[in-house]
Amino acid sequence: MRNIYIVVIALLFMLEDYLMELELRGHSKNTIRNYGYSLSNFFDYTNRKPELVTESDIKRYMIHLKNEKNATNRTVHRHLNALRSFFRYKDNDIADKIMLPKLSKPLPKFLTKEEISILLEKPPKLRDKCIIRLLYSTGLRVSELVNLNKKDVKSDSIHVVSGKGSKDRIVFVDSKTREMLFKYLLERKDTKDALFLSNHEKRISPRTIQWLIKKYSEDSGIDKIVTPHVLRHSFATHMLEGDADIVVIKELLGHSNLSTTQIYTHITDERRKKVYEKAHPLSKE
């Protein structure tokens, strides 16, 4: 019993050390939490020390997730990615040898320009107008928006520190949104640093923003589930349709790899195809 206790304590320290390493590398809190959850579940299932884990152990765990836990392929991939990351940290490529089928990336959902126009006019409150306009105008992640401070707002741009790897970048703001934003700041009587405050005068939360966008989109009669990320997708899609360079869009979105941004080219290809099929005489024969 004492030996089992020692092994468990050693494993806990090892996992804690690994998760601290992820934090030092700039991974988001969500990633760290999810990886910790995946690793704890895996070692609980196998009941083995990391150095004794085999390929078969990992495969059995993946099958266990699918058959016993009804996990989707995407969830199984997420658990495997956590194991790959952990074992690489231990200079062990055992998890890299496990191959899973490639996941097809779903096309991002976005609003039409007409739907955006309706949504932007819906909020009666200046703060809410600014929030929705800023998400669409800049393509910011909701986590980036809630962490903005007053000092980050410049004359025609905003300085952003991303939650994804803490990469600084500059995003630009259209003139009408800038005017609304400066008016909102002038109306503020507090000395708080946060750019956007809740009704309780605390930094606004992502959940509150999600709720506001859902409410206003439903009030606008938009027959889609609208989230802050849908506004980010709409920004990228409409920029690409306006012939913006995809490399510029990548930088504005704060993507590390161009391949992440290139998914938006598929959206515009689909839309062009639909326009072609609707408009060209031969497509109706």
Query: What are the structure tokens assigned to 178, written together?
Result: 């800038």
Catalytic residue among 48, 109, 169, 229: 229
Q: Any catalytic annotation for residue 61?
A: no
Distance CA 79, CA 231 (A): 29
Q: Any catalytic annotation for residue 216?
A: no
Catalytic residue among 27, 79, 129, 232: 232
Q: Any catalytic annotation for residue 77?
A: no
Cα–Cα–Cα angle for 113, 116, 122, rounded to 5 degrees: 150
Q: Which residues, in sequence order, are CB contacts of 158 under 8 Å at separation 6+?
A: 134, 138, 140, 148, 152, 170, 171, 172, 173
Q: Any catalytic annotation for residue 159?
A: no
Query: What are the structure tokens assigned to 93, written together?
Result: 């490529």
Q: Any catalytic annotation for residue 27?
A: no
Catalytic residue among 78, 164, 169, 271: 164
Q: Any catalytic annotation for residue 238?
A: no
Catalytic residue among 129, 141, 178, 250: 141
So which residues are the catalytic ones? 141, 164, 229, 232, 255, 264
